[in-house]
Structure formats: C-alpha cells, structure tokens
Amino acid sequence: MKKITIFLASSVLEFRAERKELGDFIRSLNNIYIEKGIYYEFIVSEDVSNAVDKKRKQEQYNKIIEQCDYFYILIGSTIGRYTMEEFKIALRNFKLHGYPKIYTYFINSEKISIAGEAIVSDFKKELEQNIGHYYNVYKNIDSIKLNLLVELLRDSFVYNVEQDKSELKSGDILFKNNLYGITDKHKKIMNDELSFIEEKAIQELEKENVKGALDILRGSKRKNKIRNIIESIENEKKDISQYISEKYLLISMLCNSEMDENVMNEIIEIYNELLTLSIKYSVSYNIIYEYAAFLFEYKHYQEGLRCLKELLKIEENSKSCNEYEKGITWNLFGLLYWGDKQYYESKKCYEKSLSYLKNTLNGNCNRIFYWYCYNNYAILLDDMNLKKEAIEIYKKICEEFEEELIIINQNKKIYITIIHNYACLLIENNRIIEAKDLLEKVLMIISTYDDKKLKVVVYNSISILYKNLKNKEKSLIYFQKAIQLCEELCDSNFCLNAEDLSIIYNNYAISIIDIDFDEAKIYFKKSVYLLELLSYNLSDNYSEKIARELFNYASSLQIYGEKEDAVDIYKRALSIYLNLIKKGNDIYKIRYAELCIWLAVLLEDLNDCFGAKEFYFKAYEMYNKLSYNKLKTYEIDYAILCMKMGLFMYEKDASLLAVKKILNDAQRIFINYSDYEEYSVFIKTILKYID
C-alpha cells in the first residue's frame, strides 16, 4: 500500500470550516483509491494528541511535516507564529530533500485588519523576492480541491509507473524523470476560480463516480467550443495586427509633419497603446523596436531602454528570433546607453551585437548592418577617448570591405558614412593629409547624391578640414553651403535637423571669429537658441549640448578680450552641469571639472585670486569624487589640473606641503606618458626648487 501524506497548516479558528471540508474531500478520494493500493493521509493540528503541552505538540507537528509528501498552507487575516514556523520547516526540508511539495494559498478577502494586511503583504514579498515560490489567491475552497486532485492523481500515476517499471524498456523510465521535473517547478496552472466543468467533475468525484468525472472532462462540446474560440482569437489577432499597421502609418505621417510638443505627445500616446497591444496579444513585435528607435531619435533615452527591454524579454523566450535580429536589437541598446552617457554599458552592447552579426554575413543586407554597427562601435570608442582603438577599427573595415562597398551601389551611403567618420577621427588626431584624401573621395561620390542631410554633414567636415589646412576661403565656402542646406531641412522638419544646424552655426562662428567678431557672436547665440528651443519642446537631453555650446561661446569671448562676459556665460554652463550631476552620471562631473579649470584660469587672469582658488578647488574636489576606473580614463586631464592648480597655489604663497602634494599627483601620471615628458620635466624642476 502506497501512503501519501498531506499536511495542512493554517489558523485553527479562522479556517475550521475549510479544514473540515478538505478532510471530507480526501476521505472521498480514499474510498476510490484504496482499491488501487493508494492511501491519502490528511493531517491537521486536531489530529495530534491533546495530551501533551503546546511546545511538545509543535515539535510533533514539525516531525510530521519533515516526513510528509505535501504541505498546504492557508493564510487569511494574518499569519500566526506557529503557522510560520511550520512553513519554514517545510521549506527547509524541501531544500534539503526535495519534499514536501509546498502550496501556499491566500484568501481573497476584504475583512483584513491594517496590521494583519502588513504581515501578509510582507510574507508575499518574501515568497516572491527571496524564496522564489509561487503562491495562489483563492475565493472558493473548490480551487484548492482541484489543485489537490491534480497533484494527487499525478502522484498516483507515477506510483503505477513505478509498480510496472519492470515491464518497461530502460528508455521509457526517462519519462518518469521528466514528469518529476515538471511537477517540482511548482508552476501555477489552475485558475483561481473553477469552471462549471471542473465543478461538475469534482461533484462526481465526491459521489465516488470516477467514470462520470472522466466523461465530463472528456466532453466533446467543450472541446469544439474551445476550437471556435481559438479560431476567433486568431482572427482578432489579425485585426489587432492590422490596427497596429494602420496606427504606424499615422505615426509615420505625423513624424513627417511639423514636430512640436503636441505632435510628440500624440505619437508617444499612440506608441504606448500599440506597445500594450503587441505584448498582450503577442503580435507585431517589430512595433516595440520601432518605438525604441523613435525614442532614441528624439533623445528619450531612458524611456527607450525600458521599451527595448520588453522586446529583449520576448526575444530571449522566442525560438524564432535569429542572430541577425538579436544583433539589431543589441545595436539599438548600444545607441540608447550611449545617448544616456552609460558608455561602458553601450560598449558591452556593441560587442554583443557584433558577435551575433558576425555569424550572419552571408546576405548583403546583413553585411551592410554589420558595417553600420562596426561604425557605431568605432565612434563610441572615440567618445570614450579610446581613439587608437577606433582608428584601428576603421582601418580594418576599409581594408576588408572597401572594394565590396564601392562595387555594390546600395552600399555607397554606408561607404560614405564610414570613410567620412574615419576622416573626422584622423582630423582630431592631426593626421590632416590622410583625412584630406578620404574626404575628397567622399566629396566626389556625394556630388551625384540628392541626400541633403548627408551633404550637410560632409560639407561641415570639409570646412573644418580646410580650416586646419589654413585655407580659410574654401572653409567658409563649404560652411555657407552646409548652412544653406541645413536651414532648408529645418524648414521641413525642425526637430530632426535643428541640432545639426546648431553645430554648423557654432563651427562657422569659430571660423569667422578673427574676421568679424560681432557676427561670430550672433552665430554663437543662434546656436544656443536652437538648442534651447529643442530642450523646451522635446527633452532635457539637450541640456548638456547647451552647456557645451555656452562653453564654446565663453572661451571665444575669453580669447578675444570680452572676459567679464565670458565669466557670466561660464557660470551659466556650470549651473547646467550641476543640475545634470544630480541625475547621477560621472561624465557630467568630468565636464564640470574641466569647465571649472577654464573659469579658474580666466579669473586668475582677471586678478580675482579668491575666485580662481574657489574654482580650482571645485575642479579638484569633483575629480576626486570619480570612481577609480573613471578617473583612470581621464587621468591626463586630472594631471593637467593638478599642475595648473599647484603652480597657482605656489604663486599665491600657499602651503608648500599642499603645493608639493598636488604637483606630485600630476608628476606620477605624466611620467607614464611620453607625449607629456616636457610637463614631467617641468614639474620635476619646480619640485626640486621648492625642496
């Protein structure tokens, strides 16, 4: 005879009726299964002898729990100390030995005190967050009966397999192992409320009519009804997919209209509706990607990340999602983290994206996106001051794919982008002649293109190239071409093109500053104004760009003698960075520190020693708030600060001990960089003189 033991833990008074009803149900099952060699033992506290004291009785409960097969716990208005102890005993034994199987039920009731509700809520959180155990909420005791029935029938089936296993082949026994694996996951399959079919089946079982229960559960009418429902659901899904497609067309039209705050809010509202429909009904998952891409384009980076994480959950659980699709998703993750200044997270995402895309290079479309992703990765490394690594990537792309990129016509745009970006990186690293050769290639190709936005970007870069080559005339010609085209683009879609126009205004202002300083100031102000409009209408992600533009304007004023005005504009930029620092990103601390140094140097030049000292120390304090890894990335900037600050303190008769400490900090860094050897020698001479 196989004995299966079920222990029920609960408040005796609160659940007296439920305990009795479940006991009666188990006894009715025994009337059926004893003949099959199975006996169900149902234990509640009333079954333990009253001849012992409470402490001894609880010890008996605990021993029984350790040996039982099933442990059911009912929780109502609160959880008693002994009930909680019983649960912990069951859980500990399950972790050690794999039994008893634990099922937790919370009653769905409004009659719970505030104190009791807090205890019950804390226990639910404990189950979800720390234990990882599923629980159920029930209204009707029949829900628990049904769960009991399913579990006990499963156990009786396994028992029958064990009895007959001598007749099975060795391979068939594996089915039993699979069955145990499914059971032990404690997955919630049953609904909280019973269907009328389940209720009828349980009623027949309580009458000991097994055949009647089986006939009800096998009923063909119900099966046919479900088939019709499935067909109806599929049709409804098609309707939902069509609705999503219609709304996406609406979004596309709105994106091509004049974008302002009202249009933006309408688009986001539509996307949120489509996102909910897509996830709830498992249709048109591409809309999730499109929404995240839209949020990236309009600088809503954190919302974009939250949206894309929903798609990632779906892709991780989908067998149909291929490596190319995963590569595309991780590329967008990289862009969003990058936009949110989470550079190291972005780097990880690009490395994942490239690892997926590398395995899909058989198709032309796949290769194009692979190059596109590699291009983004190189620009990211440049932003992280890893310029040598970025240049090596561009060199590798050009060596491996240049011939193929030129031959295939549809690849010309990405070829232009890669060669252009490579040239820009070379300009930043003062490799002007190499950059000129690349940009002249690009200029020749785009002359046949009608892509205004691409021409704007290229003309701007060529202007900067000629400025570096001291060819002012050609530089200004290309700036004016870029301004004219970009202003036309802004007339058609301000939000998508205003940032580019702001950059070109800034560059043009710097180029004409020594020719017409008053006109240069007008273009600096225009650049700031465009960014302020974008920030006001769309997103505060433009705040940092405003701060940078103010810095460019202030440094130009400083160079050309309008120093008092420069101080005010520097301080405006600093206040923006302080607000951004409150949002918790280290990169803004670095920008703030750099700006403090510029302002300190300016105040020193204005003989404002008190002000200069204040901002030198603000920069020093901010650098020392950085994490070790972040400070390591920007240690040259930190060393330059220490050198300037040490010299300033020395000139102002500050403590020689403090001066030596700060100069030594700079010396320890400069000594490791051959490019800064002259600084190292200079500081060594100063320190020697101080000693």
For the stretch 231-253, pLDDT in tens is 888 888 889 988 998 888 888 88
The rounded distance, in Å, linking the Cα atoms of 111 and 94 is 32
pTM beyond 0.85: no
Q: Reply yes or no on whether the pLDDT at 678 is more than 60.
A: yes
Compute the mean pLDDT over every residue in the chain, rounded to the nearest whole number: 80
CA proximity to 580, closest of 535, 628, 624, 641 = 535
SS (H, E, C) 175-221: HHHHHHHHHCCCCCCCCCCCCHHHHHHHHHHHCCCHHHHHHHHCCHH
567: in domain: no
Output 109 or 498, whichever has higher pLDDT: 498
pLDDT at residue number 45:
66
Q: Is residue 100 part of a domain?
A: yes
pLDDT of residue 161: 41
Mean pLDDT of 594-614: 87
Most confident of the following: 52-56, 394-398, 687-691: 394-398
> What pLDDT shows up at residue 545?
82
What is the rounded distance in angstroms from the CA atom of residue 368 to the CA atom of residue 411? 7
* pLDDT at residue number 171: 34
Residue by residue, DSSP assigns 36-84 as GTEEEEEE-GGGS-TTS-HHHHHHHHHHHHHH-SEEEEEE-S---HHHH
**What are the beta bridge partners of residue 102?**
71
Mean pLDDT for the stretch of residues 143-159: 65
Q: Is residue 140 part of a domain?
A: yes
For residues 114 and 121, give the distance between their C-alpha atoms in angstroms, rounded to a whole number: 10
The DSSP code sequence of 575-613 is HHHHHHHTT--HHHHHHHHHHHHHHHHHHHHTT-HHHHH
**For residue 164, what pLDDT band results from cuts at 50, 70 and 90?**
very low
Whether the pLDDT of residue 682 is over 60: the answer is: yes
Please indicate, yes or no, if residue 104 is contained in any of the structural domains: yes
Q: Read off the pLDDT band of 428 (50, 70, 90).
A: confident
Q: Residue 509 in contact with residue 527, Cβ under 8 Å?
A: yes
Question: Does a structural domain hold residue 635?
Answer: no
Asked whether residue 429 is assigned to any structural domain, the reply reads no
Whether residue 240 contacts residue 283, with contact meaning beta carbons closer than 8 Å, is answered with yes
Say which residue, 366 or 179, is predicted with more confidence: 366
- pLDDT tens for residues 332-371? 999 999 888 788 899 999 999 999 988 877 655 677 788 8
Q: Say whether pLDDT at 117 is over 90.
A: no
- pLDDT confidence of residue 143: 74
Is 470 a domain residue?
no
State mean pLDDT over 380-397: 86
Peptide bond into 100 cis (omega under 30): yes
The reported pLDDT for the residue numbered 645 is 83
Residue 623 pLDDT greater than 60, yes or no: yes
Give how far the C-alpha of residue 344 lies from the chain's centroid of Cα atoms, to the nearest Å: 13
Q: What is the mean pLDDT of residues 562-575?
A: 90
Count: domains in the chain: 1
User: What CA–CA distance (Å, rounded) separates 557 from 547?
Assistant: 15
Task: Determine which of 358-362, 453-457, 510-514, 621-625 has the lowest per-residue pLDDT on average.
Answer: 358-362
Q: How far apart are CA 329 and CA 308, in angstroms?
A: 8
Tell me the average pLDDT across 630-658. Answer: 79
Residue 55, domain CATH? 3.40.50.11530
299-303, 319-323, 535-539: which has the minimum mean pLDDT? 535-539
Question: In whole angstroms, what is the distance from residue 510 CA to residue 142 CA?
Answer: 79
Buried b (16+ CB within 10 A) or exposed e, 425-455: bbbeeeeeeebbebbebbbebbeeeeeeebb
375 domain-assigned: no
Specify the pLDDT at position 292: 93
User: What is the reported pLDDT for 189?
Assistant: 39
- Comparing 585 with 284, the larger pLDDT belongs to 284
187 vs 183: CA distance, rounded Å:
8
**Which of these, 542, 541, 573, 543, lies nearest to 555 by C-alpha position?**
573
Residue range of the domain that includes 70: 2-218
